[in-house]
Chain A
Amino acid sequence: MATQGLTTDLPVLGRLRRQGLMVGAAGLILGAIGAFAQPDQFMPAWLIGFTFCLGLSLGCLAMLMIQHMSGGRWGLVARRVFEAGSRLLPYCLLLYIPIGVMLPKLYIWARPAAVQADHILVLKQPYLNVPFALVRAAIYFGVWIFCMWHLNRWSVRQDRGEVAVTPADMRRFRVISAPGLLAYVILMTFASVDWLMSLDPRWYSTIFGFIVVVGQGLAALSLAAVSLALLAPYDPLARYLKPVHVHDIGKLTLAFVMLWAYMSFSQFLIIWAGNLPEEIPFYLVRMRSGWQYVSLLLALGHFALPFCLLLSRDLKRHPRLLARVALFILAMRLLDLIWIVAPNFNQNGFPIHWMDVSIPVGLAGVWVFLFAAAGH
């Protein structure tokens, strides 16, 4: 998508840009209205949107690094998609800025009065405090953008022919990717504590970082499936893309769907069986006042349905069908993030606020616009 070899602007990218911009504008206008009508709902919705867009970009970065390490034909065709997605990390950093400024709006541990009133929060203050949280966010984005920048820079130079495509030159991608993957997983784990888990500062789960990381990988693979289906009719993909490529992406998507379910279910079973006062509230909240239906929908939509569909070999080899399943999975990714974030804020009444959907969709629309714009 982002190659120098691709000089013409594909009509499909223009359409994608327009659609992205329209959805983005609509979502954000609604969000702006909502911000005045119900200011309390704005930041949680923004956090959902931020984590969704971040998941797309970081998932792309992770998949790009995995592809550099493992090789394989699936990575070759999807590499441009992952590169383009990873290049939007600065946009995600931009989305983080309001969160960084408004930390006390979202997190109890960022409110000094609330901290003083709660012994546990005092004990957690060495980690959960505003300056340290901001420093950590700077470190996370610094490392991620460093990896993204180098991998993309060398890739562009390779396309221009400034760098030869020899094993020695490919090695430099791996030199960044191997420690980069390690750093991504560890930093994203801490980021998931900072941004998601600490919404309820008493709750903790040691597998949570893995669940978030796998969710991001799944989002990136779904994005790749959709992008390949959109670009398949045009050169250069029309020449190179074979059913086996799509099949491989489909198999990986299935693997990540199963991995997400495995980890989510493990977390649920262990916490449910332990039934400890620090852990179980996470699920208790999500099993009543309407959230139980969302939980059920997640189990069915994030696992059972895509799992059954992706078992089919024909579906995985058919770009357009696979893209539909992938779009559905992306919607479920959003629902999963809503499910994690929103119950911390409105625990009575209708579970999902309309802003929880409109703002993330708006931010994702802008992400898609930038993504398509990066393609030329």
Chain B
Amino acid sequence: MDPKPATYEPPPLIAPGHSFASVTDKIAAIVLSGRQPMGWFIGVTIGFAITMVLMGALTYLLIKGTGIWGINIPVGWGFAIINFVWWIGIGHAGTLISAILLLLKQGWRTSINRFAEAMTLFAVMCAGVFPLIHTGRPWLAAYWLFPYPSSMSIWPQFRSPLIWDVFAVSTYFTVSLLFWYVGLIPDLATLRDRAKRRSLQIIYGVFALGWRGSVKHWDRYEQAYLLLAGLATPLVLSVHTVVSFDFAIGIVPGWHTTIFPPYFVAGAIYDGFAMVLTLAIPLRWMYGLQDFITLRHLENMAKVTLVTGLIVGYGYLMEAFFGWYSANTYEGFMIWNRMTGPYWPMYWVLVFCNIITPQWLWFRRVRTTPGLLFCVAMVVNIGMWLERFVIVVTSLHRDFLPSAWGMYHGTIWDWATFIGTLGLFVTLFFLFIRVLPMISIFEMRTLVPEAKVQGAEGH
């Protein structure tokens, strides 16, 4: 807690001096002017190059099979599940910002919800890669993942949380996509009306679904949006809860623990907000959007990151305490092995990243200095990946029988696949910025002083 003058007022949600027209001009121009900052070209180039690494890694996987990865017995779950959980978690912040903050009437969500939702979609896509390829034979994936009228009555196993995952994630993706698209419709109409080229007018026009902005349209829009927010809210909780069941339903020490559902959800939101910050801070700088994504947004996101980080820290505390309190040989050994076993550096780096680093966010100076905040967010992103690594690997590599112990390391192909999905994510994100307004134009218009004259509150 740093000393501050008594008259500290939080920065405004939108910088002074903006009007309906200036907001629309500024955001629509990013898409329609055709001029992109240098950073966009650099970003797309790097992202696309890395995506090619993913393509290469996947091709080799399809040729050779999962033997190219580091997984083996005893560690049969490796990078695929670690990356899946990490990516799915990142997606959660987008839904939290767009749905839960909407229901809680948090006006500050307005300028960040659009790209946070896009981030959700792309993160879920990256996550979706891993269940599809984790056997190395994706054309068989439908056979054991998707419920179909099976005459053999063998698959799928409905009592397995892995099947619940299929439902949870696919529902989540569908609702997120709908939510994002419905929110886009009024802005697509704005782009349609502003586009100069006939082809663009047609494309945006088709996706704008004939939006004319009549009162009836707005009324139905508001209803639909609120309903979708209500639908999306439980999904934020349920998806990562089910992901946590993937582990907790088993009886492996370190996996089978009742704190997992809330701890995974908090971890997902924690990581997701860190990722939103990781994206928002360079974006506002690159496109000069400091007027719209203000320090107030960054500070609020930092606060959410801090709170969820503390919940994650509580989870670590509980794991360690009950590992000892249980007086169960295997539980106690599991936590001891995490701290002092062959993977000890991973555990302590993770403690540094996820528990110690976010404590800087107690200080307002850190929360309102974009550079520092970016560093903290990056550290958290790394820490949360390590957390999944520690959970997956340390529990499996030394379980009940010492004669069955082994070590696990990702191979170059594991890393290529993981880093490749980062490239895919970056590429998709930059494409999104290029073709769609990354900030909701019509919602931003509710924040300018003109909107307040009629006492409008925005939705």
List A residues at the B interface (Cβ < 8 Å): 120, 123-124, 127, 166-168, 175, 178, 182, 185-186, 189, 193, 204-210, 262-263, 266-267, 269-271, 273-276, 278
Given the complex, which residues of A lie within 8 Å of B251, measured CB to CB?
274-276
CB-contacts of B396-435 with A (<8 A): none
Partner of B245 from A120, A178, A270 at Cβ < 8 Å: A270
Q: Report if B89 contacts A (CB, 8 A).
A: no
CA distance A120 to B310 in the complex (A): 32
Q: Report if B257 contacts A (CB, 8 A).
A: yes
B325 touches A127 (CB 8 A): yes
Partner of A206 from B6, B237, B258, B362 at Cβ < 8 Å: B258
Task: Report, nearest first, the 8 A-B pairs whose CB atoms are least far apart.
Answer: A168-B6, A206-B259, A123-B327, A207-B258, A266-B261, A206-B318, A273-B249, A205-B258
Return B24 CB to nearest CB of chain A, in Å: 32
A263 touches B261 (CB 8 A): yes
Return B377 CB to nearest CB of chain A, in Å: 21
B258 touches A271 (CB 8 A): yes
Q: Report if B15 contacts A (CB, 8 A).
A: no
CA distance A7 to B183 in the complex (A): 52
Partner of A167 from B7, B314, B318 at Cβ < 8 Å: B7
CB-contacts of B225-267 with A (<8 A): 237, 241, 245, 248-251, 256-262
**Closest A residue to B238 using CB positions:** A262
CA distance A209 to B315 in the complex (A): 11
B6 touches A167 (CB 8 A): yes
CA distance A253 to B426 in the complex (A): 41
B325 touches A270 (CB 8 A): no
CA distance A204 to B320 in the complex (A): 13
A186 touches B249 (CB 8 A): no
CA distance A269 to B251 in the complex (A): 13
CA distance A123 to B328 in the complex (A): 9
Q: Report if B322 contacts A (CB, 8 A).
A: yes
CA distance A209 to B262 in the complex (A): 12
A266 touches B7 (CB 8 A): no
CA distance A262 to B237 in the complex (A): 9
A210 touches B249 (CB 8 A): no
Partner of A270 from B1, B9, B260, B362 at Cβ < 8 Å: B260
List B residues at the A interface (Cβ < 8 Å): 1, 6-9, 237, 241, 245, 248-251, 256-262, 310, 314-315, 317-319, 322, 325-328, 362
CA distance A207 to B1 in the complex (A): 30
**Closest B residue to A189 using CB positions:** B318
CA distance A205 to B259 in the complex (A): 8
CA distance A143 to B197 in the complex (A): 67
A to B contact number (C-beta, < 8 Å) = 76
CA distance A204 to B241 in the complex (A): 20
Given the complex, which residues of A lie within 8 Å of B258, measured CB to CB?
205-208, 266-267, 270-271
Return B102 CB to nearest CB of chain A, in Å: 14
Residue with the highest number of chain A CB atoms closer than 10 Å, among B248, B250, B327: B327
Given the complex, which residues of B lie within 8 Å of A271, measured CB to CB?
258
Return A163 CB to nearest CB of chain B, in Å: 13
B256 touches A209 (CB 8 A): no
Given the complex, which residues of B lie within 8 Å of A185, measured CB to CB?
314
A278 touches B261 (CB 8 A): no
**Closest B residue to A120 using CB positions:** B327
Q: State whether A270 and B248 are in contact (beta carbons under 8 Å apart), knowing that A186-B317, A205-B258, A206-B318 are contacts in the complex.
A: yes
**Closest A residue to B244 using CB positions:** A266
A207 touches B6 (CB 8 A): no
**Closest B residue to A128 using CB positions:** B325
Partner of B259 from A166, A182, A207 at Cβ < 8 Å: A207
Q: Could you give 17 example pairs across A and B, Cβ below 8 Å? A: A167-B6, A167-B7, A167-B8, A175-B1, A178-B362, A189-B318, A206-B260, A206-B322, A207-B261, A208-B258, A262-B237, A262-B262, A269-B249, A270-B249, A270-B258, A271-B258, A274-B251
What 18 new A-B contacts, CB under 8 Å, besides A127-B325, A270-B257? A120-B327, A167-B6, A186-B317, A204-B325, A206-B258, A206-B259, A206-B315, A207-B261, A262-B237, A262-B262, A266-B260, A267-B258, A270-B256, A270-B258, A270-B261, A274-B251, A274-B256, A276-B256
Given the complex, which residues of B lie within 8 Å of A120, measured CB to CB?
327
Given the complex, which residues of B lie within 8 Å of A209, measured CB to CB?
318
CA distance A168 to B249 in the complex (A): 49
**Closest B residue to A174 using CB positions:** B1
B262 touches A186 (CB 8 A): no
B241 touches A266 (CB 8 A): yes
**Closest A residue to B6 using CB positions:** A168
CA distance A269 to B260 in the complex (A): 12
CA distance A166 to B9 in the complex (A): 11
Return B278 CB to nearest CB of chain A, in Å: 25
Return A214 CB to nearest CB of chain B, in Å: 10
Given the complex, which residues of B lie within 8 Å of A178, measured CB to CB?
362
CA distance A182 to B309 in the complex (A): 12
Given the complex, which residues of B lie within 8 Å of A204, measured CB to CB?
322, 325-326
Return A217 CB to nearest CB of chain B, in Å: 14
Residue with the highest number of chain A CB atoms closer than 10 Å, among B237, B259, B315: B259
**Closest A residue to B9 using CB positions:** A167
Residue with the highest number of chain B CB atoms closer than 10 Å, among A127, A206, A276: A206
Return A46 CB to nearest CB of chain B, in Å: 25
**Closest B residue to A175 using CB positions:** B1
Return B311 CB to nearest CB of chain A, in Å: 9
B262 touches A210 (CB 8 A): yes
Partner of A124 from B237, B262, B319, B325 at Cβ < 8 Å: B325
A278 touches B262 (CB 8 A): no
**Closest B residue to A267 using CB positions:** B258
Given the complex, which residues of A lie within 8 Å of B6, measured CB to CB?
166-168
CA distance A308 to B259 in the complex (A): 27
CA distance A80 to B216 in the complex (A): 44
**Closest B residue to A214 using CB positions:** B262
B325 touches A193 (CB 8 A): yes
Return A216 CB to nearest CB of chain B, in Å: 16
Given the complex, which residues of B lie within 8 Å of A205, measured CB to CB?
258
Partner of B327 from A124, A168, A175, A210 at Cβ < 8 Å: A124
CA distance A267 to B257 in the complex (A): 9
